[in-house]
Amino acid sequence: CSPLLCTVNGLQARTFGVWTLLSSVIRCLCAIDIRNRTLYYITLFTFFLALVHFLSEVFIYHTAALTIGVMAPLMVASFSILGMLIGLQYLEVEALAQNKKKN
């Protein structure tokens, strides 16, 4: 059996599944309430966490090969981080405009 398959047990697989489910719920909530800055930052953090996780599995722990199964989440996380950082600029401009209206 391969080293990766021999080291993963049911508990680890379920933990990874729950982590993935939690990340997707956070991301969906952010999509619903995109102007919630706290939720926006938490969502951005989930993408950073995913990127660091997959990069560490490939380059530090050597428990995953750089295949399409690993490249796909790396690309999604990278592009999502980029898009959210660009979107963050629009949230800042919108917040400033709302503050001017209040004053």
80 Cβ contact partners less than 8 Å away, ≥ 6 residues apart: 47
State pTM to two decimals: 0.84
Q: 31: closest CA among 21, 20, 42?
A: 42
Write out pLDDT tens, residues 34-79.
999 999 999 999 999 999 999 999 999 998 999 999 999 999 999 9
> Which percentage of the chain shows pLDDT scores above 90?
72
Q: How many domains does the chain have?
A: 1
Domain encompassing residue 30:
5-102
Residues 70 and 57 sit within 8 Å (Cβ to Cβ): yes
